[in-house]
Structure 1
Amino acid sequence: MTDTTVLPDAEACAPSSTHAIGQDAATTVAGALKSLADPLRLRMLSAIATDPRGESCVCDLAELAEVSQPTVSHHLKVLKDTGILASERRGTWVWYRITPARQRAVAALLDAFAPAAVSDEPEQAEARAEALRDMDARVTRLAEELADELSDLNRDLVIAIVRESYAGLVRSAKVTQHLIPLTERFARQRLADLTRNREAGVPQVLFVCVQNAGRSQLAAALLNQLSGGTVIARSAGSTPASDVHPHVRSLLTEIAGDQDAETAFPKPLTDDAVRAADVVITMGCGDVCPIIPGVRYEDWAAGDPALASPEGVAAIRDDIETRVRALLTSLTN
């Protein structure tokens, strides 16, 4: 029998291997992923990464599960051996912290990959694509209407901001039915940012985290409630999620009421939002914001309520409220 198998064109196939991760890098990454392939290790890593002190004592970590002290020490040693953790003995206890070289990787794991991995919302790709095909005309109409209304601003600028705002939101949107009103709100805020005179208005605080679906939304809601209008708080995300996490939405309802909670939505981080802020606070997620002269920057290592137990969510809320109250005092006194 004659073999009629057709071999693929060598020239067409050859370049693909050149884009693969290198062997040494793959070995290192695989080792790190293997060290993380245990639920207790992930919980301990999360506890360390979000501890307000920047480190955790082994005695605190032992409370995460009903296991023996040697078992806890074993798991921590695994993470330490792969370079994720560093340790320091003080008296009878050992303290652990994320090594500086691994902080961004840990933040990406806990704030982007983990929430996406546990999400049970199915992707309705075909229905979404069909809805988006009908959206362009509506965006164009919205841009024209806003340009007519805001006649004191450059018309081309208004139209461009509306289209950019829509593009920023649509990347993460799974449900398209609210995209036009959300685009209008986001565009209006961006145009206000462009024209804001920092000296003339009340202080503005911008809270930033990766998905803008959890702690940054919660911090902004608490500050707006506690300030009574003396400070304006907003939030944004470097890689915004499609919606606010249900755990957080229930907290927003308690804080601000049903109407305000329903209108909360993840928003992309923009340079204009940073420029308009008096204070920018990242939520311990490894985000890097543009450095704008005159803007005050802080980083709060806060836990992620999207991944926490009900008790953990309550503790995170209380921790953020304590920080918000201190911030409010510094801004209004």
Structure 2
Amino acid sequence: MSAGIIPAGETCAPSATHAIGDDAAAAIASTLKALSDPLRLRMLSAIATDARGESCVCDLAELADVSQPTVSHHLKVLRDTGVVTSERRGTWVWYRIAPALRPAVTTLLDSFAPAAVAPIRAEHAALENVDDALTRLAETLIQDYPQLDGSLVATIVRESYTSLTRSARVRNHLLALTEGFARQRLADITRDRTRGQPQVLFVCVANAGRSQLAAALVDQRSGGAVVARSAGSTPAAEIHPHVQPFIDELIPNDDEPRFPKPLTDHAVRAADVVITMGCGDVCPIIPGVRYEDWTVGDPALASTEGVAAIRDDIARRVDALLATLTPTR
């Protein structure tokens, strides 16, 4: 039967009542149309990733070899749609992302940028006999965590595998990544927050840039005195390629592979401090857990110099955080 043709004698019951209204659709379409120009998108990403939280028009004019009136036109389009706000200070005008739209802008850049700029990798075939491999992994972890019910451990192993398959690019590493993620989740479940080292959880949407940098900085600057975790509500396929070198520089001999991980309630419950990275992510509110929000630049489309500035900004915040967690440090 051809699509869209209703058989004789049958009626079509409208089922699209969940669609957004005409006015909302028109407003969103207008905004997306305004963002469809490559230079405007570059300007938007420059503003969003600026460690100062705003960009001067003189900085934005350097993004392309165009006239000043052209730069002003593109910035006016962004301002008229409400995506950015502007403020004149002396000779120059400064632009920042409208606070209410920052989560949407961050999600847009985080979600589309990796697919556009990351090198394409050939996916390897999925594991053969996945069920057997996961069963063997569960049996190993059941022995390592005898205090937990075996069925719970097995469930966490399979849930971890399923979560990672949604985003992982390289299939032949999935079992190793699953083991690392499952072990982290089991350690979170069994952690006694009244004992041991302080634990910090950094959260951002994609867990591919800011939160990964923050966790690496805690590892490096605390010398292992504080445990750092990171996660995201919608983890990316990999750490941003231009962020990974900075992490490798901070932790040159890292034994544990770092990769974007899904956010879990157990990770929040196990943390002493949960820090969102100014990207609009929301965490469960757990009594006894301290919450902070760090508004820092987004390295999704930042230059090498931009990522370095973001790293330095996070480093200053990490030092202040560690002073509260390790007073004798």
Determine if the TM-score, normalized by the shorter chain, exceeds 0.5: yes
Partner of 1:305: 299
User: 1:246 — aligned with what?
Assistant: 241
Q: Which AA in structure 2 matches 1:35?
A: A
1:321-332 equivalences in 2 (<5 Å): 321-332=315-326
Counterparts of 1:133-148 in structure 2 under 5 Å? 134-148=129-143
- CA-based RMSD of the aligned residues comes to 2.8
Which SS does the other structure have where 2:243 is aligned?
helix
- Counterpart in the other structure of 1:277: 271
* Matched-pair contact (CA < 8 Å) for 1:49–1:301: no
- Which deviates further from its counterpart, 40-49 or 210-219? 40-49
The corresponding residue for 2:74 is 75
AA matched with 1:87: S
CA contact under 8 A between 2:121 and 2:169: conserved in structure 1? no
Match of 2:192 among 197, 205, 212: 197
**CA–CA separation in structure 2 for the residues paired with 1:7 and 1:53:** 53
SS of residue in 1 equivalent to 2:268: helix
Q: Which structure exhibits the higher relative contact order, with contacts defined as CA atoms closer than 8 Å and separated by 6 or more residues?
A: 2
Distance 1:56 1:286, change over 3 A: same
Task: Give the C-alpha shift of residue 172 in structure 1.
Answer: 0.8
Aligned to 1:24: 23
Verify: 1:156 aligned to 2:155, yes or no.
Answer: no
Aligned to 1:8: 5
Provide the rounded CA distance (Å) in 2 between the counterparts of 1:6 and 1:100.
44
Conservation of the 8 A alpha-carbon contact between 2:51 and 2:309: no
| Aligned partner of 1:318 among 296, 309, 312 | 312
Query: 1:218 touches 1:252 (CA, 8 Å); kept in 2?
Result: yes
> In structure 2, the residue corresponding to 1:235 is in which secondary structure?
strand
- Pick from 282, 285, 290 the counterpart of residue 284 of structure 2: 290
Higher mean alpha-carbon deviation, 81-90 vs 103-112, is at 81-90
Q: Distance in 2 between matches of 1:7 and 1:203?
A: 60
Judged with a 3 Å threshold, the aligned counterparts in structure 2 of structure 1 residues 21 and 104 are, in CA distance, closer, same or farther, namely same
Deviation sequence 1:91-113 (CA, Å, 0-9, x none): 55444332233222112111212
Out of 65-74 and 106-115, give the one that drifted further: 65-74
Query: Structure 1 residues 119, 65: closer, same or farther in 2, change over 3 A?
Result: same
Name the SS of the counterpart of 1:233 in structure 2. Answer: strand
> Residue 234 of structure 1: CA displacement?
1.2
Distance 1:309 1:238 in 2: 25
Q: Once the two structures are aligned, what percentage of the paired residues are identical?
A: 69
Higher helix proportion: 1
1:270-319, Cα deviation, whole Å (9 max, x unpaired): 11111111111222222111122222222223333342222223222222
Q: Is the 8 A contact 1:62 1:69 kept in 2?
A: yes
TM-score (norm. length: structure 1): 0.86
Q: Tell me the secondary structure at the aligned position of residue 264 of structure 1.
A: coil
Q: Distance in 2 between matches of 1:70 and 1:59?
A: 13
- What is the 5 A alignment of 1:46-57? 46-57=45-56
TM superposition shift of 1:150: 1.9
Query: Residue 118 of structure 1 aligns to which amino acid in structure 2?
Result: V
- Aligned residues of 1:50 and 1:301 also touching (Cα < 8 A): no
Contact 2:49 2:302 in 1 (8 A): no
Q: 1: CA distance between counterparts of 2:4 and 2:299?
A: 53
Q: Cα distance 1:304–1:171, how it changes in 2: closer, same or farther (>3 A)?
A: same
1:222 maps to: 217
Deviations 1:216-259 (Å, cap 9, x if unpaired)? 11211111011012211111111112222332222222111254
Task: For 2:109 and 2:323, locate their aligned partners in 1 and report how far apart those are by CA, in whole Å.
Answer: 31
CA distance in 2 between counterparts of 1:139 and 1:251 reads 33
293-302 or 59-68: which moved more? 59-68
Query: Structure 1 pair 122/257, CA: closer, same or farther in 2 (3 Å)?
Result: closer
Which residue identity does 1:170 align to in structure 2?
T
Counterpart Cα distance in 1 of 2:111 and 2:213 = 18
What SS is found at the alignment partner of 1:207?
strand
The residue type paired with residue 37 of structure 2 is D
Distance (whole Å) between structure 1 residues aligned to residue 257 and residue 296 of structure 2: 24
Deviation at residue 78 of structure 1 after TM alignment: 0.8
Deviations 1:5-57 (A, max 9, x none): 99822558775766655433332122111111223322332233344554444
> Kindly tell me: are residues 239 and 206 of structure 1, through their superposed partners in 2, closer, same or farther at Cα, counting changes over 3 Å?
same
Distance 2:267 2:71 in 1: 43
